Structure 1
């Protein structure tokens, strides 16, 4: 029996093998099928009972993960032994077995480690001394059918000893599985022979190759899983810092040093007793989470998705705290555990480097550098920065910051042993060190480095030095944001944003961010910008507006870091308003001049505007893959250019009339039409249209209107992919009537499109010209010919009332079922000050199918005219903004009407009313 089963209390309560074996022995009859059926019923009852017992033990002690993992493996062992004995005694008994009719059953892979969750695969190997006999074939086949009938997911192999050796030599996966081989039942002498041959013929002399292959395999797995241990829906088995990383450490240790258990790694000097405790603590936590996850989902699920995170937090008895929910506290514990696993990996590899140093290059970065001249007391160890003694940091804790500054200055990797010392000695950083001018100088050198601040800050964070030196940052280390918008923890998001800022400054992202790349070279306050990026989310999780609280943190922290009073005030302003530019660009009508004036009034200076643009770009881009797109770039560029003109020229910029005349003159030249033809269209379009739309859009509109009028079309739909805006411009030209927009919105949704912006115009002779920007579900232009055709037909049907729009919308499934995990109360904000001409209505709600259709239908029911719609999505949260007037073109000011409008929109946002077709 595996040593780890010894710690299991009252094993017989999980399964009483003798009792079950006795009942199987009592089965009689010559019909093998009937015998197998009766045996399956007995074994299934025992298996179900054992699983219930383990689940109840885990519920009573929800953090004892390794006990639960061992209990599932113990239960599986006993079931396999019963199946083996039943098959060889009842179904295929042998009275005088030959030397070749021997069979051993091994547990391999994770099951071989005696660790399993409820739905883990049962990985087994059948071994025979030589070529398989017919008896062995019958036994193996019968056992497998019985195990499948029990509902077990079996991964199996059947090999002779020679086959086992040959295949283990040629296949890394088989070799790893066999490395963890454990005797379960059958011929024990045969198992012993297999184990000896594996060690002698497969393992001997191949340690270095195995280690290199395993590390390459690990790197590929990390790359596939997102290469960060701070993704907010982590894979706890395969992800960075997950169980597989712990397994890899043990595999390597076992292969290199022939140990049989993790504690033996201490005797070999690969782990210290404290690191062993951390290993076991991490393993216990990760197994607890995995066992809860399998029970909760009732399948072999390894991803901690948003919909299960709150339930597991509850099962593991996490509670809400001020500013942070139970699920956020649970996930922070998860990420800190993943970080601990990463630390152990680094230390472990350092020891392997030393062990294999004499025989070749080291495993980590093979780049050897010439020793820098001034290492200020630090050591240089085979191309890496190290320390000369174990007490080096204790003698002067400021060296903890100095080490990272030197690593950045000379572009050196830090030796894992030095990282281990830094992690251990980070506790030496106290208020004296935090106030030390040298220490703060070293920190600022790293933060504002022209080289690679992201990498060095990440090392500093991994060692725990970052959070100790900046305690406010320490509070957000491993802190997740429980939503579908943010892909990383707060600290990882911040470090990535600093890395993006550095890359933009170095000109590496000119194609993605042309405006930011240009203006970053004009900045006077470079240092303040880097500090602002560091602090923009530093106050998250404190139970208030993190922008306001973060500005207070900045006012206290900046002087300590050596910033002047003016720089401190600038950083505090940037942190306070770091969401202003994105909120204005994505939620407001930039064609409404009051939007620009209000924004410029808050910004006040061209330098602040430049800083705010760059900060906004890196903040959005660092949220995660796919969040930044060309439409957001276009909106931010439009806002920047409009605000920059106001700040440069004041409010006396080019007047509305002059801008309209300039656009009309440019279009007259571009179209090349005669004056009568052009002037006829100009007279039909209202002044607001010429202000709101860009020249290229107006040109497309005018050509479409002219063509439709010439052909006497009652409905014209034009669709063109617009790469600059990252969307497809859909223009609908038809007779205007109430409810037009909500029908169009429903039809676009049914065709698989997503509206991101809409401008709605009515000509002086009663025709609607609606310009709508549409993307596919992945944020790309909606441009396939077949889909565009379907879109056109859908809009035609909706406007002609040929389709049962409401029924079809109700039947369309939710695109992201996990959004249900987030309780979002809809909020309606109505603002009559944001625009001089319109009432601005903003709705925050959970994103769901046809939300825009429901909201625009509610506005139609409220007898309002929509002039523009601006749609922003933040993960599971949608923010839809409408610029509206009443039917006479005035703002909505009546308190009674506003109250009724709010109620109707709240009902629509909450899905309480069906959309009428």
Structure 2
């Protein structure tokens, strides 16, 4: 760039320290702060009595004093006079210095000084900053160069909007600041859409701060970057953000970042899980959940303010770009609107009683009287959601200020409007957020306050509890045509996790809460009972289908007893799927959906009283499984089949609340592995160990015994065991994925499995060697996983004892469980294994050597042995 003086670079964003220029850099001044800047800075950061805005202001003032002294000393050493000023920009310009913040500084000059003298002066300022170990974004420019660079780079222009004079010629800084603001306002119609696109791209990269377990306080949507963008919009004079709560929200995020910097000693904006307790303590909060809730609330305030403000920007720019009406009407011509000019911006279209559309938003009609119409908030919200339009800020605030509480129980119209709102699909979310921002949701549903902004410390979940509930209702709206009572489905979806705001089992607590809430909403006694049952058992189908033996008559009968009737079963099936789609892909797949559908079909048969429906059904065996079983019996060894698949879920598919949300999408390519092997001890542990050796991660697994009839045993010949009847073959169905690298060949897997079964491959030793090799490398600090939990599930089966294992997923975990069960002297009749995120949730149906369920004392002993084996 012409006429610019650069010490290293002309970019404000640069933080790299160059090779030091030895000219005029001896006896570098440390500033006039008593005891030196470093000591004064350290004392300030260690003052427990000063934190938050006062500390940030004091830190900025202390830094100003130091840089002023550096500039003065540098001017003397370099021989420069007037025509130079030091300007703070960006966060430093706003006085928002966190303990580890960068210093954004511009050395401004009028062009009259010698280039060499300016370079020497810059070195006198920059190098002491680097010597302090502080990150520095720096540049040396004239006012014209600064304006030209700002016109080319939006980020530079945003930084200059917060320019603040530090030292030197104040008139030079004032002139630049005035010119930059004038440029910004003149260029706003072009620059603001560019800024909006930048914000949207950043949100896609970093996610939404109010719903992240490890949020980036600066970059995520609703973070400090968005708050700065709102300041830039206000500076354009085109629009302004709603002020209520915005300053407090910004302050709380800055306070959290300060505490994070002090806790970690690093310049980080990511609130990692392992730092949250320490940050919460530094802020005087109860625990990490209280910290996240405060952060989430602040981010929602900023995010909602951003949504409202960007809509206003778009409205203003749209109005400016629209063709102006001709003056023909004023001069006596017919009509005041030019042909083809489009609808008048002030035109109002009715949507519902007291609700109209105006200029792309839903507003209240002029005749609306919220103080006399308590149903109006729900009616306006339902109309907006059904129309796919946002509720205007003015309308929501008027409703919040003037509307009276609904009578209890609610009138039928209020209940109908709530159902209409919930049934609108994706547009429900935006409208719900607007109501929640002004406190209308907690006024309508007081119990909502306990789940609002409540984090879910389960990586399977994408959303906070409250947003998950709304997302479940959105998913349920797409399934409403499958059920006879869509109103009950939608309300159950909204409230199924309402118990997570209370101690104990959230399903049990939720049942009690929902009975009261449903009665308040105006449902009759029968409907209240159905809603309570749905909430109490919203995990029943997916847990039973994935963790229980569906061929065991006790399994199907227990579900039928809990559900009670076909209407509730139909609703529960849809609720299970909606809950799944609102959670995360780790908790749902087409495979899980098929298991749930199979269970529902069996339970429906029992409820319909079909003869023999509650008795054990014949094992459903595919042609391929039967072929593999016959081949395994004939050869006396394992037979494998490997299939690579990619399960593309439908557009509305995505995930199940394993109580444990992620967005829907196709499942990653994985592998279905079928193994048939003659029945013998230790097959499960051995096969799992071989998979672990080949670095295959088990996502799901199923083991069952298949008794071949004599005519099929040995490919139609006499029974291989000489008994005259078919022998048992174990069928193992695995869903696996490679940890990294390519998938192993089936032949290699079969060879290793044969060696492991005959004892020539020591699985235990090989896994131990690999684990020892891993220990040589330092591991990244992470979250300490809770200890494994092994329990007996009483009454789950009449034919076997069910041992449940919940543990942190790890290589070789299933192998260790299988060995522990084998060492305990029990027989694994069937196994049902699933992995949800980082958690393994497994169920093993075991019997004694005679094939009978274990006695309670013995079952408890086996569970303890497995627990000890898992450490």
Tell me if TM exceeds 0.5.
Answer: yes
Contact 2:459 2:838 in 1 (8 A): yes
Report what 1:69 is aligned to: 56
Which residue in the other structure is 1:868 paired with?
830
Q: Which has the higher helix share?
A: 1
Question: Match for residue 500 of structure 1?
Answer: 475
Q: Please identify, of 432-441 and 836-845, the stretch whose mean Cα deviation from structure 2 is larger.
A: 432-441
- The alignment partner of 2:806 has SS state of strand
Aligned residue in 2 for 1:721: 644
Match of 1:118 in 2: 99
Q: CA contact under 8 A between 2:847 and 2:853: conserved in structure 1?
A: yes
Q: Does 1:456 align with 2:427?
A: no
Contact 2:354 2:368 in 1 (8 A): no
Classify the secondary structure of the residue corresponding to 1:854.
helix
Say which SS state the counterpart of residue 233 (structure 1) adopts: coil
The 10-residue stretch of structure 1 (640-649 or 310-319) with the greater mean CA deviation from structure 2: 640-649
In the alignment, does 2:566 pair up with 1:606?
yes
Q: Is the 8 A contact 2:30 2:66 kept in 1?
A: no
Q: 2:539 aligns with which of 579, 583, 607?
A: 579
Pick from 256, 267, 274 the counterpart of residue 307 of structure 1: 274
Aligned: 1:430 with 2:405? yes
Contact 2:33 2:40 survives alignment (8 Å): no
After alignment, is 137-146 or 883-892 more displaced?
137-146
Q: Does 1:162 align with 2:144?
A: yes
1:752 corresponds to 2:727: no
Asked if 2 retains the 8 angstrom alpha-carbon contact of 1:815 and 1:848, the reply is no
Q: Is the 8 A contact 1:751 1:787 kept in 2?
A: no
2:110 aligned with 1:129, yes or no? yes
Cα distance in 2 between the residues matched to 1:639 and 1:407: 39
2:417 matched residue in structure 1:
442
Secondary structure class of the residue paired with 2:290: helix
Counterpart of 2:819 (choices 847, 854, 857) is: 857
Please identify, of 549-558 and 444-453, the stretch whose mean Cα deviation from structure 2 is larger. Answer: 444-453
Gap change, CA 1:844 and 1:401, over 3 Å in 2: same
* Deviation of the 1:578 alpha carbon: 0.8
Indicate the larger mover: 340-349 or 595-604. 340-349
Q: Judging changes above 3 Å, is the alpha-carbon distance between structure 1 residues 295 and 737 closer, same or farther for their aligned structure 2 residues?
A: farther
Q: Is the 8 A contact 2:56 2:95 kept in 1?
A: yes
Q: Residues 245-644 of structure 1 correspond to what in structure 2 (within 5 A)?
A: 245-256=226-237, 270=240, 275=243, 278-319=245-286, 326-346=287-307, 348=309, 359-360=320-321, 371-373=348-350, 375-378=352-355, 380-387=357-364, 392-425=369-402, 428-430=403-405, 432=407, 435-449=410-424, 452-505=427-480, 520-521=481-482, 523-624=483-584, 626-644=586-604
- 8 Å Cα contact 2:701/2:734 also seen in 1: yes
Distance, in Å, in 2 between the alignment partners of 1:44 and 1:645 is: 85
Aligned to 1:53: 43
After TM superposition, give the deviation of residue 386 of structure 1 in Å. Answer: 1.7
Q: Distance in 2 between matches of 1:852 and 1:42?
A: 66
Match of 1:25 in 2: none
Q: 1:368 to 1:836 in 2, by over 3 A?
A: farther
Q: 1:432 & 1:605 partners in 2: Cα distance?
A: 32
Alignment of 1:769-848 (within 5 A): 769-776=730-737, 784-785=742-743, 800-801=761-762, 803-809=765-771, 812=774, 820-821=783-784, 824-831=786-793, 833-848=795-810
Distance 1:449 1:145 in 2: 60
Q: Structure 1: which 5+ residue stretches go unaligned?
A: 1-29, 258-268, 320-325, 506-519, 661-690, 912-917
1:24-75 deviations in Å (ceiling 9; x for gaps): xxxxxx9978746xx7899999555345434433x446xx432333344344
Deviates more, 1:244-253 or 1:332-341: 332-341
User: Conserved in 2, the CA contact under 8 Å of 1:761 and 1:769?
Assistant: yes
Summarize the Cα distance change of 1:762–1:367 in structure 2 as closer, same or farther, 3 Å threshold: farther
- Pick one of 137, 144, 150 that aligns with 2:132: 150
Displacement, 1:291?
1.0
How many angstroms apart in 1 are the aligned matches of 2:370 and 2:284? 39
Shift of 1:651: 4.8
CA distance in 2, matches of 1:60, 1:654: 70
Work out whether residues 750 and 809 of structure 1, in 8 Å CA contact, stay in contact via their aligned partners in 2: no
CA drift at 1:543: 1.0
Aligned to 2:713: none
SS at structure 1 position matched to 2:568: helix
Q: Given the alignment, which residue of 836, 841, 844 partners 1:882?
A: 844
SS in 2 for 1:776: strand
What is the TM-score when the length of structure 1 is the normalising length?
A: 0.76
CA distance in 2, matches of 1:424, 1:103: 53
Contact 2:31 2:67 in 1 (8 A): no
Q: Say which SS state the counterpart of residue 274 (structure 2) adopts.
A: coil
Give secondary structure in 2 for the equivalent of 1:253: helix
Change (3 A) 1:180 1:637: same
Is the CA contact 2:230–2:241 (under 8 Å) kept in the aligned structure 1? no
Secondary structure at 2:805 match in 1? strand
Once residues 125 and 653 of structure 1 are traced to their aligned partners in structure 2, the CA distance between those partners, rounded to angstroms, is 80
Query: How far apart in 1 are the matches of 2:687 and 2:589?
Result: 24
Q: Which residue of 1 aligns with 2:165?
A: 183
User: In 2, Cα distance between the equivalents of 1:256 and 1:650?
Assistant: 72
Structure 2 CA distance for partners of 1:228 and 1:398, relative to 1, 3 Å = farther
Cα gap change, 1:885/1:33 in structure 2, threshold over 3 Å: closer, same or farther?
farther
1: CA distance, partners of 2:695 / 2:215? 29
| Counterpart in the other structure of 2:328 | none
> Structure 1 residue 826: deviation in Å?
3.7
Counterpart of 1:208 in structure 2 is 189
Change (3 A) 1:251 1:593: same
Q: Is the Cα contact below 8 Å between 1:832 and 1:839 reproduced in 2?
A: yes
Residue by residue over 1:856-911, the C-alpha shift from the partner in whole angstroms, topping out at 9 and shown as x without a partner, is 2322221223233322344454322112223443332262x4343232222234x3
- Aligned to 1:830, what secondary structure does the other structure show? strand
For the 8 Å contact 1:859–1:901, the answer to whether it is kept is yes
Task: Measure the CA separation in 1 of the matches of 2:869 and 2:778.
Answer: 18
Shift of 1:494: 0.7
Aligned residue number for residue 509 of structure 1: none
1:812–1:783 Cα change, 3 Å? closer
Tell me the alpha carbon deviations over residues 52-107 of structure 1, each in whole angstroms, 9 at most, x when there is no partner.
434433x446xx43233334434443444454455555xxx234x488xx543322
Q: Is the 8 A contact 1:69 1:287 kept in 2?
A: no
Contact 1:732 1:768 in 2 (8 A): no
Q: Could you report, residue by residue, the CA deviation over 1:747-804 in whole angstroms, capped at 9, with x for unpaired residues?
A: 42353322221315488859974524133379xxx99445878866775776611753
The residue number in structure 2 matching 1:94 is: 78
Q: State the alpha-carbon separation in 2 of the partners of residues 77 and 777 from structure 1.
A: 55
In 1, the alpha carbon distance for the partners of 2:58 and 2:193 equals: 33
Tell me how far apart the structure 2 counterparts of residues 887 and 548 of structure 1 sit (CA, whole Å): 38
1:539 match: secondary structure: helix
Residue of structure 2 equivalent to 1:26: none
Q: Distance in 1 between matches of 2:428 and 2:372?
A: 27
